[in-house]
Amino acid sequence: MIWSRISLAISKTLLITIIIIAVIGIALATYFSSLKGPIQTTTTPFTTITTPVYTTPMITTTPTLTTPVATVTTPITTTQMTTPSPTTPQISLYKLVIGTTEIRVPKELYDFAMKARAGSISVTINFWTSMYPFEADIIKEAVSMFMKEYPGVKVNYQNVQNMKEMVKAGVLAGDVENTAHVFTWAHDWTGEFADAGYIIALDNYLPPETLNDLQSQYAPIAFSAAQLRLHLYGLPWAAEAIALICDASKVPQIPSKFSDLENNVFKKYTDVSKGLYGLSYQIDPYHIYPFVTAFGGYYYDETTDTSAFNSTGTYEGIKFLLEHVFPYLYTSDLGGETQLKLFTDGKTPCIITGPWNGPRIREVYGDKIVIAPIPDIDGKTPKPFVGVKLLWITSLVKNDPNRLYASILFSLWFTLNDGSLKMFVDKFGYIPIKNSLIEYVSAHKEQYKYVYGFLESVLRGVPMPKVPKMGCVWDPVGTAVNAIVTEYNEKGLKTTLDDLRNILNSAATTLVEKCKVKLVS
């Protein structure tokens, strides 16, 4: 009897214990399960590129350039997994196809694009440029192409004067209806506009996957020009840099070495007594920069806040310029207009200039010109300043989701659409920076001699600094260059070389005192 009672008690105790263990097990399972959260997609940050990768244009397979039709397709999600996070939501990405280009975009942008393409919404944005009239006509044609594909977005296009001040004034006044929502200019405005809050950072609205897809579409030098302090502020669509242009009847092929260019071209065609010179070359801080960089010098590095203006590299570069270029120039007037006229009048065989003078040069020479980067100097590569044309979006759209997405969609289309980008190349000679167009032009370089020559120079160049401090740097550098030219004309080469160090040191002192930069030797 006692044993029966004991057995019964043990059985009850065991049963209760089992129940308690089961309850605890369920509770623990529920708790740990709650920690896992939803499965997350990989969000690898886009890479910041500070120096160009290409040294010559890529030549791969020729892309098919068809009439672009932007489409939206079924949603996709990335498949790579990361460590689960209980706070990060799952990211759904959708494929947006612009012409032959496919990028992943977030659902909100996808939905907007689908409605805009169907014409089921109506949004108006303002797009501004500041260009020559014949350029504006081509831009207007591209805008019409966009609106035909996206009838839900009306783009009011204006080609305006004094655009920089007009954008600033409109944003400061909050004039949403009458100010640009999207505008384009060379990338060196980025720092001033970003610091003042006039433009938005695209990475605040687009996920890393979209940024990675965009980065893969453009030449590295172009994408880096659109970045500032790890943020992406604009999208690139064309570029500019100076190159060497020669009359093909006098110089059928540009030498690959500068020494050969000097000995076989400059010396051959220089006859001062007859008003003939070996080269046309506008002399100012911008145009002479390739000779500075060839020897390791530079004016200002925005990443380190330093200047090497009185460094050995800058000194050697300007010394080389004085010794091997100046003797073949008409130095009495080194302004751009005079130097261009010398070339178009046939008084020089070559000119160093940019694509902006292309129309006037082709009026005289047609296609009978050869274009190439400035040749290497004893194995050292002259790297010109590169200006990249960007599309920015003003901060006026931040509080209007439809205008924001319309501005982003238009910017994506404008910079990714092979059809319109090729039109810019064919009709005006813009230098492309989208990889597919670089490949196309490179594969057809005989057809695109003019564009290809400048393209090579762009891809070996360095982006113009884009922070406001560069505006301060230009002044003392310009003063020094003017002093060098004046002394050369008044006292000759030897005296100028003797004083060169002092001129550079004086400018460097001003850079430190006025611009607050650090000097490197």
Written as tens digits, the pLDDT of the chain (521 aa) is 333 333 434 344 444 444 444 544 444 444 334 333 332 333 333 333 333 332 333 333 333 333 333 333 334 333 332 333 334 456 799 999 999 999 999 999 999 999 999 999 999 999 999 999 999 999 999 999 999 999 999 999 999 999 999 999 999 999 999 999 999 999 999 999 999 999 999 999 999 999 999 999 999 999 999 999 999 999 999 999 999 999 999 999 999 999 999 999 999 999 999 999 999 999 999 999 999 999 999 999 999 999 999 999 999 999 999 999 999 999 999 999 999 999 999 999 999 999 999 999 999 999 999 999 999 999 999 999 999 999 999 999 999 999 999 999 999 999 999 999 999 999 999 999 999 999 999 999 999 999 999 999 999 999 999 999 999 999 999 999 999 999 999 999 999 999 999 999 999 999 999 999 999 98
Measured in whole angstroms, the distance separating CA 345 from the mean position of its chain's CA atoms is 35
Q: Which residues contact residue 356 at a Cβ distance below 8 angstroms, ignoring those fewer than 6 apart? A: 240
Beta bridge partners of 245: 351, 371
The confidence score (pLDDT) of residue 74 equals 36
Domains of the chain and CATH, by start: 71-77+90-240+387-463 (3.40.190.10), 243-386+466-519 (3.40.190.10)
Radius of gyration of the chain from Cα atoms? Answer: 30
State the Cα–Cα distance between residues 237 and 78, nearest whole angstrom.
28
What's phi and psi for 129, nearest 5 deg? -135, 170
What's phi and psi for 472, nearest 5 deg? -75, -35
The confidence score (pLDDT) of residue 9 equals 41
The confidence score (pLDDT) of residue 91 equals 75
Nearest to 373 by CA among 485, 311, 476, 462: 462
- Number of H-type helices and E-type strands within the chain: 19, 17
Contact 40/82 with Cβ under 8 angstroms? yes
State the Cα–Cα distance between residues 314 and 519, nearest whole angstrom.
12
**Residue 147 to residues 97, 125, 403, 455, Cα–Cα distance (Å):** 16, 11, 15, 30
User: ∠ CA 296-299-301 to the nearest 5 degrees?
Assistant: 85
